[in-house]
Amino acid sequence: MPKALLLENIHPFASENLRQHGFEVVTAKGAMDEDELIRALDGVDLLGIRSKTSVTPKVLDARPDLTAVGCFSIGTNQVDLDYAGSHGIAVFNAPYSNTRSVVELVISDIISLMRRLPAHTFHMRQGVWDKTASGSHEVRGKTLGIIGYGNIGSQVSVLAEALGMHVVFYDIEEKLALGNAERASSLEDLLEKSDAVTLHVDGRKANTNFFGEDQFARMKPGSVFINLSRGFVADLDALKRHLDSGHIAGAAVDVYPVEPKKTGDSFTTPLAEEDNVIITPHIGGSTLEAQESIGHFVSHKLLDYWENGITSLSVNMPTLNMNPCQGRARIAHLHDNLPGVLANVNRVLGAENINITAQALSTEDELGYVVTDVDTMPSKDAIEELKSLQGTIRVRVLPNR
């Protein structure tokens, strides 16, 4: 029986789906450190994680037979993608499943900060009745600056505009503006004109400390700042200084440079001392609807790869989206992107008079992936010869179910 390990309280739908397809499923609520994960991976074929568990080369070397990793999240920076791909381990994520949840939290943060709800709550808990309109604003007519106009940023744009906000955005790539949103001429231009600034940049290492002292200083006096993207992209010490000085009127932070491994662990941040600040424990995508959607999406992607060799939406493999197997078996051959591999695969099969009923090849960067449906199960000798072909990384033979 194949085995799956699901960590970090992944939605029960994923476990149920895998069990229905014959997997033994082991679950854990918290994340694991490197050594714990290595021990837990004994005999595991599919691994499911969220954002707190790191899948390092050391982990992958300890379990070379691991077939795939499912990131039940948007981000995949917790996995060494290149190393996994070069060792034949496919990685999947859920790039769109929690978009709406994140977007709704961003919008609620903007409204709450502009109305100074965190500050009023803070004062009420201290026994201070501070009934005043000072510093409180409607969002209608205000300018929202969106840094990163991808899937989430663009959807924030749509909802913000529906509230009557003027939207400007900045992105290093060319993006099609939705509605009446306008592209800022530069990051500095966006910061200087925006009443609220929200970050939606990805987790690439180059974005470490992307938003720091210089960027906070450029922000419009009295504006608010929101970060629900990655914890390491914003300098929280610099943010605190600008909150203390009054230059920035409020902030909402959901992600941090260092976060606890599991629910219930202690956590401290100097931002807790501020009044008009919303601090949340990385819950941007944590709604029941989003987690169910992610559990459904990623578990199906893992099963598509396990049973049919389909790599559609894999983040580290050449993309092949095949029809159901059109023969007795399917041979999935992952290899270095070298010339002549397809011919050599067909030569091995031809030597055994095996008829090919369907075949597809895809290459991407350093990897090539060929999937071949055959009407006869190849012999053990043929499989071993396929494995010994120059450049071969992994060969999987998938019987037609």
User: DSSP H helical segments within 149-200, as ranges?
Assistant: 151-162, 187-193
Q: Is 140 a catalytic residue?
A: no
Our answer to whether residue 230 is catalytic in this structure is yes
Which of 230, 330, 333, 335 is catalytic? The answer is 230
Burial of 61: CB neighbours in 10 Å, binned 0-12, 13-18, 19+: exposed
53-89 pLDDT per residue, tens: 999 999 999 999 999 999 999 889 899 999 999 999 9
Amino acid at residue number 372: T
**Does 29 have pLDDT greater than 90?**
no
Q: What is the separation of C-alpha 138 from the centre of its chain, rounded to a whole number of angstroms? A: 33
- Residue 359 CB neighbours (<10 A): 17
For residue 273, indicate whether it is catalytic: no
Burial class for 204, CB neighbours closer than 10 Å (0-12, 13-18, 19+): exposed
Residue 363 binned pLDDT confidence (cut-offs 50, 70, 90): very high
User: By C-alpha distance, which of 221, 224, 401, 388 is closest to 329?
Assistant: 401
Q: What is the DSSP letter of 129?
A: -
The string of pLDDT tens digits covering residues 315-337 is: 999 999 988 898 899 999 999 99
Catalytic residue among 21, 100, 218, 282: 282
Strand order in the sheet with 248-253: 182-183, 166-170, 143-147, 196-199, 223-227, 248-253, 277-279
- pLDDT tens per residue across span 142-174: 999 999 999 999 999 999 999 999 999 999 999
CA–CA distance, 187 with 181 (Å, rounded to integer): 15
User: What pLDDT shows up at residue 75?
Assistant: 84
pLDDT band at 129 (very low <50, low <70, confident <90, very high): very high
Q: In order of start, what are the domains of the chain with their CATH numbers?
A: 1-98+287-317 (3.40.50.720), 99-279 (3.40.50.720), 319-401 (3.30.70.260)
- What is d(CA 84, CA 67) in angstroms, rounded to the nearest whole number? 10
pTM strictly above 0.85:
no
The strand pairing partners of 197, in sequence order, are 145, 225
List Cβ neighbours of 22 (8 Å cut-off, separation of 6 or more). Answer: 1, 2
308 pLDDT tier (thresholds 50, 70, 90): very high
pLDDT at 68 (0 to 100): 98
Asked whether 8 and 31 are in contact (CB, 8 A), the reply is yes
For the stretch 185-223, pLDDT in tens is 999 999 999 999 999 998 888 889 999 999 999 999 999
DSSP codes of every residue in 71-108? ESSS--TTB-HHHHHHTT-EEE--SSTTHHHHHHHHHH
Q: Of residues 24, 213, 259, 307, which has the active-site annotation? A: 259
